[in-house]
Amino acid sequence: MSAPPTPDPFAPAPPPRGRFLHALNPLAKIAGPLPAIVAVLFAHGSALPAALAAATLLLVLVGARLSPRALLGLLVALPAATAVLTLSFAFWSDAGRASVTPLVIALGPVRLHEGALLAGAATALRLAAIVLLSLIGGLTTTGPDLARSLVQQLRVPYRVGYTALAAYRFVPRFGHELDVIRQAHRVRGMTPGRGPVAAVRRRVGYLVPLLAGALRHAERVALAMDSRAFGAHPTRTERHLVPWRVRDTAFVLLSWLLTASAILIALKV
């Protein structure tokens, strides 16, 4: 009886079941929302940003696997931030133009007119729509998959793409080494005290060992890449493919079609 195959620890994780955004090509999740982001930047009024923000929020809730923290941010933090930005931009709007519109809020010396609120809402909704459109790829794409798709589909030189991938791998390693350094300082009793000055001194003390660890790691990576003749040939074979499928094309075309429809409806309104 043959032994079961050993799983590949370097293989990409399979996409979550029933969450179609994770299975799309990373470039499709950039190309699809891009026209909508441009349209929001040049939109007049709040109808188009509000429609695109609502549609994008629904898409992310249905098509992405969200952690409780991300779900709380989308359903609570983002609407609250949009409301605060609306009031903030409303107070910075042109008071002369807004004064001819009906008065909405009157609290002592504070006077807020309907025109100012509409102008503030339009600006805040633009920002919210851009954030949500960016989260389509931000919440469902990993850095390695994005680097691989740039190399495989856009023909970015693999030296550039995989150098960026190696740099991306440095980030979690820095976090691990920082934890090790903190534990070593605590074990040795290296506590500079309390207060903001002590906190700054403590963080400065982490810089030298972090830099030394980064240099050692960079040297090991460089030696490993050189021993494998990385960069010696104009092309290379790919171990893990990030293919462009029919569903990626369908997602991009459907996104563009919905954006064009929303623009036409907003122009008529």
Instruction: Give the total number of structural domains in the chain.
Output: 2
- Kindly tell me the sign of the dihedral angle through the C-alpha atoms of 238, 240, 245, 249: negative
Q: What is the pLDDT of residues 98-134, one digit of tens each?
A: 555 666 666 666 667 777 788 888 899 999 999 999 9
* pLDDT confidence of residue 184: 77
Tokens of 89: 């931009």
What helix, strand, coil percent values describe the chain, rounded to 5? 65, 5, 30
* 8 pLDDT above the threshold of 60: no
* 175 pLDDT above the threshold of 80: no
> Could you give the CA distance from residue 126 to residue 46 in angstroms, rounded to a whole number?
8
> Could you give the CA distance from residue 93 to residue 118 in angstroms, rounded to a whole number?
10
Residues 65 and 161 in one domain: no
> Could you give the CA distance from residue 227 to residue 5 in angstroms, rounded to a whole number?
28
Domain membership flag for residue 185? yes
Q: Between 261 and 266, where is the model more confident?
A: 261
Domain membership flag for residue 1? no
Domain membership flag for residue 116? yes
Domain membership flag for residue 211? yes
- Mean pLDDT, range 226-232, rounded to an integer: 69
Residues 162 and 42 in one domain: no
Residues 27 and 136 in one domain: yes
Domain membership flag for residue 27? yes
Residues 190 and 83 in one domain: no
pTM given for the model: 0.74
* pLDDT confidence of residue 224: 77
- Look up tokens 């910075």; give the residue: 92
Question: Closest by alpha carbon to 74, among 125, 26, 128?
Answer: 128
Q: Between 203 and 110, where is the model more confident?
A: 203
Q: Which residues contact 202 (CB under 8 A, 6 or more apart)?
A: 185, 191, 192
Q: What is the pLDDT of residues 58-86, one digit of tens each?
A: 999 999 999 999 999 999 999 999 999 98
> Could you give the CA distance from residue 249 to residue 252 in angstroms, rounded to a whole number?
5
Domain span at 123: 22-141+244-268
> Could you give the CA distance from residue 63 to residue 66 in angstroms, rounded to a whole number?
9
Residues 193 and 62 in one domain: no
Residues 255 and 135 in one domain: yes
E strands in 54-177: 103-107, 110-113
Domain membership flag for residue 131? yes
Residues 51 and 114 in one domain: yes
Domain membership flag for residue 13? no
Task: Please name the helix (run of DSSP H) or strand (run of DSSP E) that holds residue 221, with its range, or none.
Answer: helix 196-227
Question: Closest by alpha carbon to 242, among 154, 135, 169, 136?
Answer: 154
- Look up tokens 């890449």; give the residue: 225
- Kindly tell me the sign of the dihedral angle through the C-alpha atoms of 260, 264, 265, 269: positive
Residues 60 and 129 in one domain: yes
Neighbour tally for 184: CB within 10 Å: 11
Question: Closest by alpha carbon to 28, among 268, 227, 246?
Answer: 246
- Kindly tell me the sign of the dihedral angle through the C-alpha atoms of 25, 28, 30, 33: negative
Question: How many angstroms separate the first and last alpha carbons of the chain?
Answer: 70
* pLDDT confidence of residue 10: 46
Domain membership flag for residue 84? yes
Tokens of 122: 């339009």
